[in-house]
Amino acid sequence: MSGSRLRSLLEAYSTPVLLSSILSLVVVVVWMNASGVLAQTVTDALIRVVLVVGLYIFVGNSGVLAFGHIAFTMIGAYATAWLTLSTFKKSFALQLPAILAEHQYPVFPSAIAASSLAAVVALIVGIPIMRLSGISAAIATLAVLGMFHTFYNNWGPWTMGAATLPGVPLYVDMWVALGWVVFAIFVAFIYQRSRYGLALRATREDEFGARAAGISIPRQRLIAFVISAFFMGLGGVLQAHFLGSIAVKNFWLSLTFISLAMLIIGGQRSLTGAVVGASVISAITEVLRLVENGIEVGGTTISLPPGSQELGIALVMLLVLIFRPSGITGGRELRLRLSRRARGA
């Protein structure tokens, strides 16, 4: 490959390369310097990035809000638990069919299988729902979340109902999370530059124009919906294996709201926005948490009253929305210009 080909390839993929490099750099710096607590925080933030990128693949490219994506996260989280819990724990807590109850599957294929289950569910519910437009589609996905939430909450033999399901093997650390984040970022980018992604983005900009150009809106939305659900499911898988336990109540409105808020605050129209939103909100949350616990500045300990973390994050979100309604990135992508013309300019 000649130098100029390599350069143009690097330039074309500069957005995912840069985003992945920055996140990797953060991980390396934390790995070299910091305590285990910070590593945990970074892992948690990286899992959020997977979720928000997953959400972005549908919401960002289609311009249709979706309130139901956390259902896929829950499906992924429980599916990986059914596959990877030890047979002893399964026999204690759940009543699963023999193929699940009598085996313990390895974690990597399980992660793929669990995320794929979320994608298959999205395909089934998506076929009717993607025919709807705008706010009706958003509410229909909310209804899907409501159905799965209620159902899992009462599905004792498979989910332990409203109780917390413990004993999910812990294997997700900063590096595993980083690996999946890089994968998610590249898939999201390759999708948005593919003809499917471009067609969907065309429907976002001008629905009637796109339709007149022969684009099937339901089909393009469905494709994004399914890919998006895969990564939402993957986020659930990672969270389950990071925390070691799962509960239905954690996959409900607050996770829905915070993920959507991260996307919109970062800038819903670009992949960079999704990554920036998730990272910035996670970082601010962590800083506020530290300050709430008390922080030493010049010999005196400053601490905020309990509960100020949530109030602070809500205020920051409101301020960003008021002063930058199109998000921190304003829908622009981070990119590198290497071509001669750009260098000359």
Partner 1 sequence: MIGLLQHVVDALALGSLYALTALGIGLIFGVMRLINFAHGDFIMIGAFSLVVPSSAATSTLLIGAWPAPLMVGGVCFVVIALALATERLAFRPVRRADPSVLLITSFALSFFLQHAVLAVHGGRAKSANIWPHLMEPILIGGVRVPQLQLITIVVTLVLLVVLVVFLRRTPMGIAMRAASEDFLTARLLGIRANRVIATAFAISGLLAAVVSLLYVAQTSVLSFHMGVPLVLFAFVATVVGGMGSLTGAVVGGFVVGIGSVFFQVVLPAGWRSNRDVWVYALVLLILLLRPSGLVKSKSIEEKV
Looking at the Cβ atoms of 14 and 256, the one nearer to partner 1 is: 256
DSSP 295: E
Cα(189)–Cα(299) distance, rounded to whole angstroms?
A: 47
Nearer Cβ to partner 1 (178/264): 264
Closest approach of Cβ 312 to partner 1, in Å? 9
User: Which C-beta is closer to partner 1: that of 29 or that of 253?
Assistant: 253
Q: Map the footprint of partner 1 across residues 26-55, applying CB under 8 A.
A: none
Give CA–CA dist 117/133, Å, rounded: 25
Sequence letter at residue 194: S
Q: Given the complex with partner 1, which of 26 and 321 has the nearer CB atom?
A: 321
Q: What is the enclosing helix (H) or strand (E) of 51?
A: helix 36-62
Choice from 315, 330, 336, 339 touching partner 1 (CB under 8 A): 315
Per CB under 8 A, the list member of 8, 87, 91, 133 interacting with partner 1 is 133
Under 8 Å between Cβ of 256 and 271: no
Minimum distance of partner 1 from residue 310's CB (angstroms): 4
Residue pair 84/104 in contact (Cβ under 8 Å)? The answer is yes
What phi and psi values does residue 73 have, to the nearest 5 degrees?
A: -60, -45
Site of tokens 């990135």: 329
Q: Which of 154, 194, 303, 339 binds partner 1 (CB under 8 A)?
A: 154
Q: How far is the CB of 142 from partner 1 (least distance, A)?
A: 7
Residue 114, token pair as written in the block: 């669990």
Question: Is 253 a binder of partner 1 (CB under 8 A)?
Answer: yes
Is 135 near partner 1 (CB under 8 A)? yes
* Minimal distance, residue 334 CB to partner 1, in Å: 22
Rounded to the nearest whole angstrom, what is the least distance from the CB of residue 5 to partner 1 in the complex? Answer: 40
Cα–Cα distance measured from residue 234 to residue 172, given in angstroms and rounded to the nearest whole number: 12
Instruction: Return the closest-CA partner of residue 339 out of 1, 21, 18, 10.
Output: 10
Separation in Å, CA 104 to CA 47, 87, 142, 340: 24, 6, 33, 55
How crowded is the C-beta side of 50, counted as CA atoms within 13 Å? 30
Crossing angle (nearest 10°) for helices 36-62 and 14-33: 160
Q: How far is 150 from 142, CA to CA, in rounded Å?
A: 12
Q: What angle do CA 249, 84, 143 make, to 5 degrees?
A: 30
By C-beta, is 150 or 339 nearer to partner 1? 150
Interaction of residue 132 with partner 1, rule CB under 8 A = yes
Q: Are 25 and 255 in contact (CB under 8 A)?
A: no
Q: Should residue 146 be labelled a site residue for partner 1 when binding is judged by CB under 8 A?
A: yes
Give whichever of 59 and 232 is closer to partner 1, judged by the CB atom: 59
Task: Give the number of residues in contact with partner 1, rule: CB under 8 A.
Answer: 44
Residue closer to partner 1 by CB (options 45, 262) is 262
Q: Residue 292 pairs with which residues in a beta bridge? A: none
Residue 342 near partner 1 by CB under 8 A: no
Residue 7 binding partner 1, by CB under 8 A: no
In the window 255-314, what residues touch partner 1 (CB under 8 A)?
257, 260-261, 264-265, 268, 305-308, 310-311, 313-314
Q: Could you list the residues that contact partner 1 (CB under 8 A)? A: 65, 128-129, 131-136, 139-140, 142-144, 146-147, 150-151, 153-154, 207-208, 253, 257, 260-261, 264-265, 268, 305-308, 310-311, 313-315, 317-318, 321-322, 325-326
